[in-house]
Amino acid sequence: MSTQYPRIVNVDEAPENRRRGGDLRAMLTPTSCGATSGFMGLAIVQPGERIGEHYHPYSEEFVFVVCGDLEVDLDGVTRPIKPNQGVMIPINMRHRFRNVGDTEARMVFHLGPLAPRPELGHVDTEETATSGPPEHAKVAS
């Protein structure tokens, strides 16, 4: 069966990814829709949850908050980010998000350009409940 493009992707079609905290759904990707310059998704962050600190060595990240009360740490500086606000996170800038409200937060994210390989796209700098030790702290066996 071939995939026809352009393709509409529903959030329920994107697999849950809780490795960095929250529920990150990569929706429009090279695999799902043939994207060649980046990928887009939705982060669903419950009250008290966070997305662990990381950076992207190849990509800028564009974030738009749809609903909820979030804080973003950008290279250690905390800023509130509210619904209907967006932020562009430059390549190599460490960042994490926290839901500081009492309702679910949702934010759309887009990263581009693509890393040479998917596993090179994110570098974790802290451990979360589901991630294990950060990439730079792992020891080769």
Confidence (pLDDT) at 5: 73
pLDDT of residue 78 exceeding 80, the answer is yes
The domains of the chain, with CATH numbers, are: 17-115 (2.60.120.10)
Confidence (pLDDT) at 137: 41
CA 50 to chain centre: 11
Q: pTM to 2 decimals? A: 0.86
Q: Tens digits of per-residue pLDDT, 82-112?
A: 999 999 999 999 999 999 999 999 999 999 9
The arithmetic mean of pLDDT across residues 69-79, rounded, is 97
How many residues appear in the chain? 141
List, in sequence order, every residue forming a beta bridge with 71; answer none if it has no partner.
80, 98
Q: Tens digits of per-residue pLDDT, 22-51?
A: 999 999 999 999 999 999 999 999 999 999
